[in-house]
Amino acid sequence: MLETRTENFVIPEARVARIRQCIDMLVSIKLLDEQSEMTNYRLEPEVTRQPGDLVVGDAGQRGRDKLLLGTLAEAGARRRLWLDITGEQVVGIFGKRGTGKSYSLGLLLEGLASGAGSTRLAELATPRGALVLDIMDIFWTSTIPLINDGSAEVRKQFAIMDKAGFQSRALSVDLWIPAGFQNPAIDPPGVRQLYIAAHELELDDWASLFEVDVFAEPRGMLIADMLNYVSRDGYTDVRNGNRIAPDQQFTFADLSAFLENCSEIQGVYQDTTVRSIRQRVGTYGAQALFSGTNTPLTDVIGSFRVSILMLARLPDPLKNVVVSTLLRRLMRERRDASFAQKRLDLAGDLTKEESTRLAEIISTSVPRTWVMMDEAHNLAGTGPNGMARDTFVKYAKEGRNYGLSLAVATQQPSALDPRLTSQIETLIVHQLTSPKDAAVARENIRSPLPSATNVDSQPVSVDDLLRRLDQGTTTFSCANAPALNRLCVVSMRPRTTAHGGYEA
Ligand SMILES: Nc1ncnc2c1ncn2[C@@H]1O[C@H](COP(=O)(O)OP(=O)(O)OP(=O)(O)O)[C@@H](O)[C@H]1O
Ligand SMILES: [Mg+2]
C-alpha cells in the first residue's frame, strides 16, 4: 500500500490525497478572496502591440539603462513595466496622502542604487549618481535590507516583498547631513557631513536666509552692495585707506570685515541697518554648515550610488539655501563636463594633449545625476516657502542637456510651480480625489488616453479612474513611449529595502 511516513505514525495515501485537496481548496479560496478585494481595471485599446515586457521612457527605445517599476494591473497579460532611463528624465509622482508616492520614489532610488549590470530591480550600464533631497528624513531607511526578523514593521514589509518573489540585498546608499545638524544619539552610523561655502550663495539665497526683500528694503540693498563690493569691485578700508581686493571665494569673515570697515557704505545706510546685517552674518558665519571647506560634489555624488541628504532638521530658509546652492553647483559642473564630452565626441581637430585633458576632466567630474525630492510642493511650490522653485525650474528645463534627471513627488500637484509641472514627461499618478489636483494630473498626461476605461466592469472617466486607484497602484504615462498606445494602470513593485514613510 502507498503511504506517507512521518516520524511516529503512518498516514494512508488516500487520506494524504484528501488532505492535499483540502489545502488546495483553502489556498484557492484565499487567492480568490484576495483577488476579489482588488479593483479590476480594463482599458482599451490594447496597451501595446509588442510582446513581453514594456520598456518605455526613451524616444529612441535604446533600453541601455532601465528601472523596474512594476507590472501592469489591467485585465490582460501581466507584463512588467520598466522605465527606460538611457536618456534623461523628468518624472512626476502625484497622489493624495498615504497612497504610495514616497514608496514609488523609493523604488526609483533602489533601482539607481542597485549597481552596474543587471539585477531584478534595474539594468544599468551608464555611470550615474543620484541625490535625494530628503526634506522629511524618511529615505535613510533605504540602507536597511528587508529581512524576516526584527520588528513587526520590518517583518510586515518583508512579507510583502517575499510574496512578490523579490529578495533583498544591501544597496549602494550613502547618508549625508548638513554639518551642525547631526544628532549622534539617534542617527544611524556613517552619516557624513556637508559643508557649504559663503561664496556659493547667490543674492536670492541671502534674501531667503536673512528673510529680506533685496530690492525694496534697505537691509536687502545693503546685502546686494556687500556681495558686489566683496566679490566684484573691492573696497577701501576706512581705518587706513588700504584697498581691499575683490575675492570671488569670499568667506563669512570677509563679509563681517566689509561691514565693519568699508568706507564706501559709510553714511549710505543707517547704523541700525548695518548692525542688523552684521549680526546676521555673524550668526550664520558661526554655523558649522558654513564653517568648513566647501564639500566637493564629487565627494557627495558617485557613479552607481545614491546619496541621501537629510534636510528635515533644517529651518525652511536654510533648506532652500542648501538645495538651491547644490542644484546650481550640480548644473554648473555638469554643464562643463557635458561641454567637454561634446568637444571630445564632435571636434575632429583635437590634439592628443587636448583629448587627454578633456577625457580627464570628464572622468573626474560629477557623473550624470538624478535629483529626487519628495513633497516637492514645499520647496518648488508657488507658496511663500518655495524659494528654491526658480532653481528647480531651471534644472528641469536645462538639466537634460547636461545629463541631469529629476524625480519629484507631491500630494498637491496644484501647488507645484506650473513651470516645473510642464517639464514632466513621465507621470506616475497614485489615487487623487481632489478635482483640482486631478485636473493638473489629467492636463499633464503625455500618453494618449484610453478609448474606454472600465473599473469593476463600470465605464468611468479618467478622473474616476484616478479616484479608484488602490494603494500602490498608479496610472503611468510618458511622452517618450512609442511602444505605449495609451496611459496604463500599474501595480508598483514592492520595495526591497525598508520604507521609512510610515507613522511612528
Ligand atoms: N507598491 C506598493 N506595494 C506595497 N505597499 C505599498 C506600495 N505603495 C504603497 N504601499 C503601502 O502604502 C503605505 C503608504 O505609502 P507612502 O508612505 O509611500 O504614501 P505617501 O503617498 O507617500 O503618503 P504621504 O502623503 O503621507 O507621505 C506604505 O507604508 C505601504 O504600506
Ligand atoms: Mg510620503
pLDDT at 446 over 80: yes
Q: What is the DSSP letter of 4?
A: E
pLDDT at 363 over 90: yes
- Residue corresponding to grid cell 525630492: 373
pLDDT 10s digits, 169-217: 999 999 999 999 999 999 999 999 999 999 999 998 999 899 898 888 9
More confident residue, 52 or 22: 52
For residue 21, what pLDDT is reported? 55
- 18, amino acid identity: R
| Residue 501 CA, closest ligand 1 atom number | 17
Q: Alpha-carbon distance 229 to 226, whole Å?
A: 5
Nearest to 385 by CA among 425, 421, 412: 412
For residue 30, what pLDDT is reported? 45
Q: Which residues of 458-494 are buried (b: 16+ CB within 10 A; e: fewer)?
A: eebebeebbbbbbebbbbbbbbbbeebbbbbbbbbbb
SS3 488: strand
Ligand 2 centre and the CA of 499: distance in Å?
Answer: 10
Q: Which residues of 204-233 are buried (b: 16+ CB within 10 A; e: fewer)?
A: bbbbbbbebebeeebbbbbbebbbebbbee
SS3 312: coil
**Percentage, residues of the chain above pLDDT 90:** 86
For residue 37, what pLDDT is reported? 73
With DSSP H G I counted as helix, E B as strand and the rest as coil, what are the percentages for the chain, rounded to 5?
Answer: 40, 20, 40
Task: Quote the distance between the C-alpha of residue 391 and its chain's center.
Answer: 15
Confidence of residue 4 (pLDDT cuts 50, 70, 90): very low
Mean pLDDT of the chain, nearest integer: 93
Confidence of residue 23 (pLDDT cuts 50, 70, 90): low
More confident residue, 188 or 9: 188
For residue 29, what pLDDT is reported? 43
**Which of the listed CATH numbers 3.40.50.300, 3.40.50.261, 3.40.50.720, 3.90.1150.10 matches domain 45-190+299-492?**
3.40.50.300
Cell output for 435 = 478635482
Does ligand 1 come within 6 angstroms of the Cβ of 160? yes
Q: Are 500 and 138 within 8 A, CB to CB?
A: yes
Q: Are 473 and 489 within 8 A, CB to CB?
A: yes
pLDDT at 8 over 70: no
Ligand 2 centre and the CA of 374: distance in Å?
Answer: 7
Q: Are 160 and 292 within 8 A, CB to CB?
A: no
SS3 325: helix
Cell output for 160 = 510583502
Domain boundaries, the chain: 3-37, 45-190+299-492, 199-290
Q: Alpha-carbon distance 305 to 307, whole Å?
A: 7
For residue 213, what pLDDT is reported? 87
Neighbouring-strand partners of residue 68: 82
Instruction: Return the beta strands (E) in 339-464 as ranges.
Output: 368-373, 404-410, 426-429, 452-455, 458-459
pLDDT 10s digits, 28-63: 444 444 445 789 999 999 999 888 999 999 999 999
Q: Are 374 and 136 within 8 A, CB to CB?
A: yes
Ligand 2 centre and the CA of 501: distance in Å?
Answer: 6
For residue 93, what pLDDT is reported? 98
For residue 384, what pLDDT is reported? 81
Does ligand 1 come within 6 angstroms of the Cβ of 95? yes
Task: Quote the distance between the C-alpha of residue 62 and its chain's center.
Answer: 23
- 190, amino acid identity: G
How many beta carbons lie within 10 A of that of residue 154, not counting itself? 17
In sequence order, which residues have a C-beta less than 8 Å from that of residue 217 and are 6 or more positions away? none
pLDDT at 27 over 70: no
Does ligand 1 come within 6 angstroms of the Cβ of 282? no
Q: Alpha-carbon distance 30 to 418, whole Å?
A: 46
pLDDT 10s digits, 146-172: 999 889 999 999 999 999 999 999 999
Q: Alpha-carbon distance 231 to 362, whole Å?
A: 29
Does ligand 1 come within 6 angstroms of the Cβ of 101? yes
Confidence of residue 10 (pLDDT cuts 50, 70, 90): low
For residue 17, what pLDDT is reported? 60
| Residue 138 CA, closest ligand 1 atom number | 17
pLDDT 10s digits, 210-258: 989 888 899 999 999 999 999 999 999 999 999 999 999 999 999 999 9
pLDDT 10s digits, 97-127: 999 999 999 999 999 999 999 999 999 999 9
For the chain, how far is it from start to end, CA to CA, in angstroms? 58
CA distances from 329 to 178, 186, 257, 332 (A): 16, 30, 26, 5
- 451, amino acid identity: S
pLDDT 10s digits, 297-351: 999 999 999 999 999 999 999 999 999 999 999 999 999 999 999 999 999 899 9
For residue 32, what pLDDT is reported? 42
CA distances from 427 to 114, 408, 442, 484 (A): 23, 10, 10, 14
Ligand 2 centre and the CA of 107: distance in Å?
Answer: 13
Q: Alpha-carbon distance 328 to 113, whole Å?
A: 23
Does ligand 1 come within 6 angstroms of the Cβ of 100? yes
